[in-house]
Amino acid sequence: MKPKQILLAVSGGIDSMVMLHRLYTQYGANHIHVAHCNFQLRGADSDEDEAFVKAISAHMKVSCDSKKFDTESYASEKGMGIQEAARELRYVWFFELMKIKDCSHLATAHHKGDSIETFFINLLRGSGPRGLSGIQEDEDRKIIRPLLDIDRAAIELYAAEHKITWREDVSNTSNKYLRNKIRHDLVPMLSSWRPGFEKVMMRTMDIQRSVAALIDEASEAYRKTHFDIDGETTRISLDGSSQEKLLLGHLFMAYGFNDVQLDNILTSNQSGKQVLSKTHVLTSDRGRLLLSLIKGFPEGTWEISEDLNTDELPFPLEFWRMEEAPEFFDPNPNIAYLNASKLQFPLSLCRWKEGNLFKPLGMNGKKLVSDFLIDAKVPLEEKKRTLVLMSGEEIVWLVGHRISEDFKCYKNTDKVIYVLSSHS
């Protein structure tokens, strides 16, 4: 029987080179295709990685496609972090390439350590059982992960035994990204505390996977009995059961709502109270909820007092105080680090207005918000939904895009307010 055609995501690192060798040995050169992404984030090193993968593929007589991405521009335009942007870019291209090459599956080189790191990343994000299941194969999207049950030590041993060469990504040694902090600091510490740590973690993720499957099943049953689609509005009848909030939280994730918003609207006695995601509005209506697409955008100004209470905000915005600046500032535009000593409370949140000026981080002079959004190529509908966080009459943050130079933090700033948005 002819082996399946498989597209291999190959970066040139040790994991992907070991995967390439194993699948080449198993299927032969004619039934695998290599795909390499050059994200142009590490200067000449990125180009050398691309040349290396092409050369190895040619030596093995394996077909190879590579593509260069302007990752930083894409991240800026979409208002997302570099890592998130790179992930989105590569998977869109991989799935396009699968169709062109007539491949039945995509193979990635994620291994056991990657899955454990993903568990902790999602734990810190407040994920539920699905996120705490680690990395899995994805049959719906035809993604296989041949190294998922193998740890890094076994990969290194395989590479040595088969004399496999690879390229070392120097960014893997830096703690700039959360994944690297978990890999270099947290996991070794926990491993030293608990013998058999990896085995325990794999068992924990298996349990979370089973719990997620049960929640999927229960949520779908709840949807069938409680969701009533009436034209463009979905009416959700509430029964007050102990598991209702869990099931609603699971269902509303698909519409961009978070647990804080859901808790706010479920505990409110105010009929007509609303919370918004990027695309939908959820309204409390006398013992039920109404879910509909956003057609307009609510006008008004919402205040954030010094206690940083955001219960009344219709938007998913969260504030925390920090006693010192972080070692590294996360570049994600949905995160703001603000110098608390320069803020005037209450802060206010509202939609930007024509004529608004602010001083974007890294600039000396002020710029019209409208010009900034045009330069950033923000789509028209997203422009309409863009918010500004104000301190007095000054724009502190063009939410989801750029903070003001006047309110930035330095390494020695001792009072910091950290803000996270999932609206923009």
CATH code of the domain covering residue 54: 3.40.50.620
Domain closes at, from 265, 295, 325: 295
The b-or-e profile of 34-57 (16+ CB within 10 A means b, else e) is bbbbbbebeeeebeebbebbbebb
Burial class (CB in 10 A: 0-12, 13-18, 19+), 406: middle
DSSP state of 110: -
Peptide bond into 379 cis (omega under 30): no
Judge if 256 and 391 occupy the same domain.
Answer: no
In this predicted model, what pLDDT tens digit does every residue of 48-68 receive, in sequence order? 999 999 999 999 999 999 999
Q: Where in 313-364 does DSSP place strands (E)?
A: 317-322, 335-339, 347-351, 357-358
**How many whole angstroms separate alpha carbon 170 and alpha carbon 42?**
9
Amino acid of residue 101? K
Q: Give domain status of residue 40, yes or no.
A: yes
pLDDT in tens, 203-245: 999 999 999 999 999 999 999 999 999 888 999 999 999 999 9
Q: Please enumerate in sequence order all residues whose Cβ is within 8 A of that of 410, keeping only pairs 6 or more positions apart, or say none.
A: 325, 339
Same domain, residue pair 64 and 142: yes
Task: Output the domain CATH number for residue 337.
Answer: 3.50.40.10
Residues 6+ apart with CB under 8 A from 383: 373
Residues 261 and 388 in one domain: no
The strand pair at 6-9 and 105-107 is best described as parallel
Which of 275, 295, 315 is the last residue before a domain boundary? 295
Distances (CA, A) of 62 to 8, 9, 40, 95, 235: 11, 13, 24, 19, 54
Task: Tell me phi and psi for residue 257, to 5 degrees.
Answer: -90, 150
Considering the domain architecture, whether residues 323 and 416 belong to the same structural domain is answered as: yes
- Start-end of H helices in 106-229: 112-124, 152-161, 178-181, 187-193, 197-226
Please tell me whether residues 46 and 96 are part of one structural domain. yes
Q: Is residue 289 part of a domain?
A: yes
Same domain, 352 and 284: no
Whether residue 129 lies inside any domain: the answer is no
Query: Residue 118 falls within a domain, yes or no?
Result: no
Query: Angle, to 10 degrees, between the axis of helix 71-78 and the axis of helix 82-101?
Result: 110
Residue 288 shares a structural domain with residue 347: no
Which of 278, 295, 312 is the endpoint of a domain? 295
The answer to the question of residue 50 being in a domain is yes
Q: Which residue has the tokens 């041949």?
A: 146
User: Residue 180 falls within a domain, yes or no?
Assistant: no
**Residues 317 and 251 both lie in one domain:** no
DSSP 30: G
Query: Are 167 and 55 contained in the same domain?
Result: yes
CA atoms of 78 and 72, how far apart (whole Å)? 10
Give how many domains the chain has, as a whole number. Answer: 3
**Is the pTM for the entire model greater than 0.75?**
no
Does any domain span residue 381?
yes
Q: What pLDDT score does 422 carry? A: 66
Q: Could you tell me if 323 and 289 lie in one domain? A: no
Low-confidence ranges of the chain (pLDDT < 70): 1-3, 79, 173-174, 176, 296-297, 422-424
Q: Does residue 406 share a domain with residue 369? A: yes
> How buried is 108 (Cβ within 10 angstroms: 0-12 exposed, 13-18 middle, 19+ buried)?
buried
Specify whether 33 is located in the same domain as 155: yes
Under a CB-based contact definition with an 8 Å cutoff, are residues 49 and 16 in contact? no
**Amino acid type, 179:** R
Write out the residue range of the structural domain in which residue 406 sits: 301-421
Q: What angle do CA 84, 90, 91 make, to 5 degrees?
A: 90
Q: Output the six-digit token pair for 289.
A: 């909820």
220 found inside a domain: no
In the chain, what are the helix, strand and coil shares in percent, each to the nearest 5? Answer: 40, 20, 35
